[in-house]
Structure 1
Amino acid sequence: MNLFKRKTPVEDLPQEDVSQEEAYVVNDAPTKSFGQAILPVIACGAGLFSDGYVNNVIGSVSTVLIYQYGDLYTTSNAKKYVSDIAFVGTVVGQLLFGFLSDYWSRTNSLLISTVILIIFTALAAGSYYHGDAVGMFNILTAWRFFVGIGIGGEYPSGSVGCAESTGELKQGSRNRWFILFTNSMIDWGFVIGAFVPYVVAAACHNGHYETIWRTSLGIGCIFPIVLFVMRLRLKEPEEFTKNSMRYAKTPYLLVLRFYGWRLFIVSLIWFIYDFSAYSFGIYSSTILANIYDSSQAPLTTVFGWNTVINMFYLPGTMLGAPVSDWLGPRYALAGGVTLQAIVGFIMAGCYTSLSKPSMVGAFAVVYGIFLALGELGPGNNIGLLAAKTCATGVRGRYYGIAAAIGKIGAFVGTWVFPYIVAAGGDNEVTSAQYPFYVSSALCILSAALALFCLPHIGQDTIQKEDIRFRAYLESKGYDTRQLGLKKGESLDSVEIAQNETKA
């Protein structure tokens, strides 16, 4: 039963498109304990840990494969394909599961994506091809593509389900819990994805290369297995139960007219963020180059410092999570990305001084602040904006398209930034500065897009969007009575049994 606290006027809907009866959205008081409400948030969102782990551990795996196979690995282009193919798979997964999570089920889509992730992560760890190293590289590349599909499914199924499940939590805290179990999970995945190879390399005394990379990949199965068990008990989020288009024909033209501009802006911000983020790795390599000789360093040294660099992300995402509740995700994104741009311009302008070996400590601190601000701004909030700027019936597809365009931006960035670096010519300082001038300028553009082209996102925006969208569809003659799941469809077997006993 819903307990009604108050009514809030719907914002931003043209008056001719909304009736008096539908001009209000009901804010529900929490009907569950915190423990009951937070479990589906964790189960839905935490799968993005695997995104961080799988995408970061492959860098360490590639390093080990270079140590093991030398020029055979680098000259066969395997290094590039093994690292990048997961991007392609992720885009496919985001689009595919965006459709499935809307047309079929949030929870079933999650379970399938988790199974795909577990199976193909295990296959990647066991890649073998009759003793032929090049053949093994090809098999590893193929399995990584399917791993990417599993990861991609987490975005429109998991993150969307997580956002919808936060409606059961107390107002004023919903954004932070979404962030802590989505973007923060990615960042923790990055850290653990760097730390696990360090531990394994230490246990192997920097030898037994095959054991190191296979074990590092295989450990990536553990978290999805635990999560799969948790997800077996998941029910469909309440908003999905009420507003799903599972049994309704999607009016794509009306959806495009109503949400096309927002989707374009959210996708563009996500593209810019991922596109730019890859240039920031330049400073990481500069710091490490001033600390040790990568061509002679033992694996534990390489992986240890990689772990330290990745830990810079954590303060930004963890401390920045409450900011999205205090300011709202739109202002938090704009503020964080503006501050990041300022620091980026300073780092580019002072690169000559900061890149000296004697300044490595100061460089690392400033770089850490730079990364933290990126997480506080777009890192934390772009997924939140994508999840809460559209209605439940099309949220999976909307989110999946935006996330896929973001991943495409990351892929494009890996190919474009070498040309930006090359534009600096033989001047090493200029070549390092150019990408950061470009990225910092794009940060300012992202802030402007968020401030001037997106609506305010409040604690009950998901409910408001469903009311607005229903009203719009009805104003265009669409029968909204077909929205929602059938009675009892969202109940799990335990609840059904309890209800039958009571009857």
Structure 2
Amino acid sequence: MLGRNKDLTAEQQLQDPQQQGTVANADVEDELDSGKPLFQRLVPVFACGAGLFSDGYINSVIGSVSTVLKRQYGSVYSDSTAVKNVSSIAFAGTVLGQLSFGLLADHWSRTNALIISTVILLVFSALATGSYYQGDPVGMFQMLTAWRFFVGIGIGGEYPAGSVGAAESTSELKKGSRNLWFIMFTNTMIDWGFVIGAFVPFVVAAACSNTHYETIWRTSLGIGVIFPLGLLLLRTRIKEPEASSHHSMRYAKTPYLLVVKFYGFRLIVVSMIWFLYDFSSYAFGIYSSTIVDAIVPAGSALTVVFGWNTVINLFYIPGSMLGAPLSDKIGPRWALIIGVTAQAVVGFIMAGLYGTLSDPSNIAAFTVIYGIFLALGEVGPGNNIGLLASKTCATGVRGRYYGIAAAVGKVGAFVGTYIFPYIEKAGGDDAVASAQYPFYVAGALCFVSAFLAFFFIPEVGQDTIEKEDARFRAYLEQHGYDTSRMGLKQVDTMESQSTLADMPVVASQKV
């Protein structure tokens, strides 16, 4: 890893207070045993991370909304640029939100950045629901596209502010379950958002007897406002995570050159894995249409189409929920490696047997194997890439580090969605080969992700956040940086600023 020798020097500096760090850890464990009940400790983790439910819901529901718009407006919609822009414009907004809110989370406040992102999500989700332009359908499509961009910014803010805050809040939980709860309130929430985002249009379409198209798509979008509204009320009551309170760089100038030297290579590796995961996972989403097309006759009722869409999205849930404890038992690094390797193997099997599996008479087998493939993706990078991004760097720069990695992942999703149709075309007129090539490419990329994680990602333990903060502080001090200004301070004037009391130093090890 970059800066390896310097890291060792920093660790040597931390060996003297090792006993003090051990006592500090024991005190923390005693406090957890006699302090708040589990429910109260989970509230901040939930409040910070659960906003990603909206990411899943909004990205899922827009597919159903686009289906309804095609039926309502026909070629006016399907032949317009809106058919692509309505679904994809949120990617651009999300990337902008991830980068900008990563900076806000580090230099202002985790909780305040969360509140702002939630308000943006609420306001523009409501505006998207009411999209209108003087009765002109094309103008309405353009308004919907514009509001979706700003919705994406709100979604993007949930990543560096919400996930980072959730990771830091897990430090108040007992060791042995911290990774599980982080995953349950981040990636699993995204997956449930996808499921509910597919199920709500099904229910609304059934209530509307598969007619009243405008009611169906506007109601489906509008229901997406309810969850962030409730979450906003909860977020106004949570406090800044303890780690951020002590290690924030709100009042300290960020030494970017030192940060790049210390974390640059690690950030590149984490970002590459996230890019490859989103590149493959979003592109593989095109194969859900294979299942639907084989089962659902053309012109079927909306409830039939939306019902099968819900079933397909349900495959994500067991992978995320059953795989979450694995990240505590063997660590997120090994969980990612095992999950992504198994996914690659299943992907190659599907490619080799695609000609047989895609036959309509074997659609049940295709669906099951495809479901296993999706579930393994959640066991691996789905559950663990965000966890690794939030715990492989220090608190002072965690928001920006996470935001950059997540933004690169979203770029990967966009690139994968754009490139995979060309990979399919490489198969020429052979329909089987056209379907096999993307599986071979994505399977190979899964192995690349496993290689990167095995050789370049550090182990992440239950108390990695504390150790990483101590390791980073020691590195900065070694290079002459004044760390006394780090942390959130209550001051009236610059002259009256009091230095934050020294935190107990936690004995560090190579992580």
Which SS does the other structure have where 1:154 is aligned?
Answer: helix
What is the TM-score of this pair, normalised by structure 1?
0.93
Counterpart in the other structure of 1:383: 386
Counterpart in the other structure of 2:471: 468
Measured in 1, the distance between the counterparts of 2:108 and 2:18 equals 30
1:486 is displaced (CA, Å) by 1.1
Change (3 A) 1:21 1:241: farther
Gaps of 5+ in 2: 493-511
Which SS does the other structure have where 2:250 is aligned?
Answer: coil
Measured in 2, the distance between the counterparts of 1:439 and 1:358 equals 26
| % identity of equivalent residues | 69
Alignment partner of 2:485 out of 470, 482, 486: 482
1:16 is displaced (CA, Å) by 5.6
What is the TM-score of this pair, normalised by structure 2?
0.92
1:122 is displaced (CA, Å) by 0.3
Task: Within 5 Å, give how 1:232-251 maps onto structure 2.
Answer: 232-251=236-255
Change (3 A) 1:12 1:179: farther
1:17 is displaced (CA, Å) by 6.2
Is the aligned partner of 1:413 residue 2:416?
Answer: yes
CA contact (8 A) 1:45 1:162 kept: yes
Gaps of 5+ in 1: 1-10, 490-503
CA contact (8 A) 1:290 1:360 kept: yes
Measured in 2, the distance between the counterparts of 1:116 and 1:291 equals 39
Task: Within 5 Å, give how 1:96-495 maps onto structure 2.
Answer: 96-293=100-297, 295-487=298-490
CA contact (8 A) 1:18 1:475 kept: no
Superposed CA offset, 1:159-188 (max 9, x none)? 000000000001000000000000000000
1:488 is displaced (CA, Å) by 9.1
RMSD: 1.5
Structure 1 counterpart of 2:403, one-letter code: G
CA contact (8 A) 2:10 2:471 kept: no
Which SS does the other structure have where 1:79 is aligned?
Answer: helix
Is the aligned partner of 1:15 residue 2:15?
Answer: no
Change (3 A) 1:340 1:12: farther
Structure 1 counterpart of 2:439, one-letter code: F
Superposed CA offset, 1:73-111 (max 9, x none)? 111111100000000000000000000000000000000
Structure 2 counterpart of 1:93, one-letter code: G
Change (3 A) 1:230 1:180: same
Structure 1 counterpart of 2:9, one-letter code: Q
Counterpart in the other structure of 1:495: none
CA contact (8 A) 1:18 1:468 kept: no
1:278 is displaced (CA, Å) by 2.2
After TM superposition, the structure 1 stretch with the greater mean CA deviation from structure 2, 284-293 or 193-202, is 284-293
Which structure 1 residue ranges, 4+ long, deviate > 2 Å from structure 2?
Answer: 15-18, 20-28
1:15 is displaced (CA, Å) by 2.6
1:18 is displaced (CA, Å) by 4.4
Structure 2 counterpart of 1:379, one-letter code: G
CA contact (8 A) 1:316 1:376 kept: yes
CA contact (8 A) 2:6 2:475 kept: no
1:487 is displaced (CA, Å) by 4.9
Counterpart in the other structure of 2:496: none
Which SS does the other structure have where 1:290 is aligned?
Answer: helix
Measured in 2, the distance between the counterparts of 1:70 and 1:159 equals 40
Counterpart in the other structure of 2:504: none
Structure 1 counterpart of 2:411, one-letter code: I
CA contact (8 A) 1:187 1:313 kept: yes
Structure 2 counterpart of 1:15, one-letter code: T
CA contact (8 A) 2:10 2:474 kept: no
Is the aligned partner of 1:75 residue 2:76?
Answer: no
1:290 is displaced (CA, Å) by 1.3
After TM superposition, the structure 1 stretch with the greater mean CA deviation from structure 2, 14-23 or 423-432, is 14-23
CA contact (8 A) 2:125 2:225 kept: yes
CA contact (8 A) 1:52 1:187 kept: yes
Measured in 1, the distance between the counterparts of 2:321 and 2:11 equals 40
Change (3 A) 1:164 1:488: farther
Structure 1 counterpart of 2:248, one-letter code: S
Change (3 A) 1:213 1:341: same
